[in-house]
Amino acid sequence: MESQGGITVRRALELPGLRGGLPEVLTGTHLLDRTVRWVHAGEVPDIASLLRGGELLLTTGLGLGTRPAEQRAFVRRLAERGIAALVVELGPRFDRLPATIVETATAAGLPLVQLHREVAFVTVTEEIHTEIVNGHYALLRQAEEVHRRCTSALLDGGGVPQVLSVLAGFSGNPAFLETADHRLLYAAGTGPEGTGPLQVWDGMRGGRTGREAPPAGSVLVDVPGGGPGAGPVRARLVLLAVTGPLTTVHRMAAERAAGLLAVVLMQARQDDELAARGRGDFLTDLAEGRIAARDAPAQAKVLGFRPGDAPLLPVVVLLAPDPAPPSGGWALLARTALEELAPLGLPLLLGVRPVEGRVPLLLGLREGAERTVVAERVAAALRAGLERAGATGAGPGRAVVVAGVAGGWAEAGAGLRHAAETAAAARGLPPRPWYDARLLDTDLLLWRLRDHPDLAAFVNRTIGPLREHDATARPALLPTLEAYLDHAGRKAETARALHLNRQTLYNRLARIGELLGTDLDDPRTALALGLALRARRHTE
């Protein structure tokens, strides 16, 4: 029989060239189904160094040596190389192989054959090589036939499930497509006694961490990424040997199918990304007033968003500056975000804006829903989705999540615009899980003035002496002033927040007043200092 694209030792002995030599198998009768990868003929003592394993070695025995120690070493080295079999032609060197050679071959598990008649080694080599080449060609034809059937399934409108079904039918084993981190995407075929593929998966791959070895006999083939930001591996094709063995032809078929699946997944990603960008364009047009509030519900319905009369909560996610797409593209980002948001059970419309590095969305709130509670859950789900997608800037302090004011379609556009502008302003603020756009209007105003020279001059006049102090001396006084103003001048609360005793805080406040030449208890002074501290975040 054929194995791994070659022929077996048994088949080689049946060919006319060797059969005419009246072969006698002396050892390894149970090993005659070994695969013959190639044929080599030679007579040198160190011929083992020229072999790579899987060869059928033809020799007249001239290199075997005359002493038992030489003969044992010769046979052991061949066995260690992993050759398929040793065939010795009897004649001038041996009229029968010595017991030393036979015993060593038996102990080493090496098939040993002696030929009682002279044969033409070149004829034997040509016959076996022809069989090997024909065997490889037969495997190629089988793999190409599977590739043709997979292609036909795609041209007839099928997708990944149909390709996996073809592979499962050909191999007689279930087929799976998993992500690079071993999450199941698709499954096809049946397992032992008609069990479903998901049962097989749970039993043999369920819970795999990636550090564990795959089940023995499996065929795993990477589905390449391709395209900017896609990464080297998009998915992995897996055949599990649970109802029968998997051989070379199954791997060859899987490798060809992987190329088709790469195209299918790339097309799906492109379609998903176009759809996500389309939703992002709609939300942006709504925010910028290019879509009237009266027309928005009908257009949103076409995009699958049907919130009814529910209040709409605008939310905007802003990624890091100079955003790079996640490893699987913006389509992956949108998909993972939607998957994380799905448990909320709210109607929602989510899009992407790659140019600005933004993810805008609208959510329909249930009657009586607490806006703050919903915003917290939405922000947590969005961050989880971004991290799963590997989005640049998804980490704490990098991705900014802003929730706007809830209202109807008439307010939705302005809410999205306000949230988007506030997200840009919030980038300079201390990191938070999410920001309420209603509470950041002062920061938004200062952010809009960030490039105006008067704002920088105001900051320098108001808190410049403290900035100069903190640049060269310790303790830094700006954090103390900021905490003091955040607590509306309440010294006890400020001391607790800064983990200081009161006298230390009093000394620092006195030093701040001295450096600024002002009274910190004056309301107008406190207002100016608070504005300067906020403006500093946007001007530095």
CA distances from 363 to 195, 326, 342, 345, 469 (A): 42, 24, 11, 10, 48
Instruction: Look at residues 446, 476, 495 and tell me which one is the last residue of a structural domain.
Output: 446
Structural domain range at position 96: 2-131
Residue 129: which of 32, 204, 56 has the closest Cα? 56
Coil/strand/helix, residue 405: coil
Residue 143 resides in a domain: no
Given a contact cutoff of 8 angstroms between Cβ atoms, the answer to whether 528 and 521 are in contact is: no
Residue 19: give its domain's CATH number: 3.40.1390.20
Phi and psi for 227 in degrees, rounded to 5? Answer: 90, 155
* Segment holding 383, helix H or strand E: helix 371-389
Angle at 300 between CA 295 and CA 306, to 5 degrees: 115
Instruction: Look at residues 267, 283, 301 and tell me which one is the last residue of a structural domain.
Output: 267
pLDDT in tens, 142-197: 888 999 999 998 888 778 888 999 999 999 989 988 877 777 777 888 888 788 78
Phi and psi for 419 in degrees, rounded to 5? Answer: -65, -40
Residue 422: give its domain's CATH number: 3.30.70
pLDDT class for 71, splitting at 50, 70, 90? Answer: very high
pLDDT of residue 231: 52
Same domain, 514 and 380: no
pLDDT class for 235, splitting at 50, 70, 90? Answer: confident
pLDDT of residue 197: 82
Residue 151 resides in a domain: no
Residue 273 resides in a domain: no
- Bridge partners of residue 59, in order along the sequence: 88
Same domain, 301 and 423: yes
Instruction: Look at residues 422, 446, 470 and tell me which one is the last residue of a structural domain.
Output: 446
Same domain, 81 and 183: no
pLDDT of residue 214: 58
Same domain, 239 and 357: no
Coil/strand/helix, residue 241: coil
pLDDT at 347 over 50: yes
Same domain, 414 and 374: yes
Given a contact cutoff of 8 angstroms between Cβ atoms, the answer to whether 478 and 510 are in contact is: no
- Look at the alpha carbons of 155, 157, 159, 161 in this order and tell me if their dihedral is positive or negative: negative
Given a contact cutoff of 8 angstroms between Cβ atoms, the answer to whether 518 and 526 are in contact is: no
Same domain, 308 and 436: yes
Other C-beta atoms lying within 10 Å of the C-beta of residue 133: 12
Q: In the structure encoding, which two tokens stand for residue 268, read together?
A: 């799906």
Across the chain, mean pLDDT equals 85
pLDDT at 292 over 70: yes
pLDDT in tens, 307-317: 998 999 999 99
Residue 221: give its domain's CATH number: 3.30.450
Same domain, 490 and 523: yes
Q: How many domains does the chain have?
A: 4
pLDDT more than 90, % of the chain: 37
Cis status, amide bond into 475, omega within 30 of 0: yes
Coil/strand/helix, residue 420: helix
pLDDT of residue 349: 94
Residue 56 resides in a domain: yes
CA–CA gap between residue 23 and residue 32 (Å, rounded): 13
CA–CA gap between residue 349 and residue 296 (Å, rounded): 12
Same domain, 394 and 510: no
Residue 280 resides in a domain: no
pLDDT class for 321, splitting at 50, 70, 90? Answer: low
Same domain, 391 and 497: no
Mean pLDDT, residues 502-515 taken together = 91
Q: Considering the entire predicted model, what is its pTM? A: 0.53
pLDDT of residue 213: 53
Whose tokens are 């079999």? That residue is 85
pLDDT class for 322, splitting at 50, 70, 90? Answer: low
Phi and psi for 372 in degrees, rounded to 5? Answer: -65, -45
Q: Where are the beta strands (DSSP E) in 51-166?
A: 55-59, 85-89, 112-115
Same domain, 426 and 334: yes
* Segment holding 24, helix H or strand E: strand 23-27
Same domain, 323 and 406: yes
**Backbone region of residue 172 per phi and psi (left: phi > 0; alpha: psi in -120 to 50; beta: other values):** left
Residue 139 resides in a domain: no
Other C-beta atoms lying within 10 Å of the C-beta of residue 215: 16
pLDDT in tens, 437-484: 999 999 889 888 988 999 889 989 999 899 899 888 899 899 999 899
Same domain, 29 and 18: yes
Residue 286 resides in a domain: no
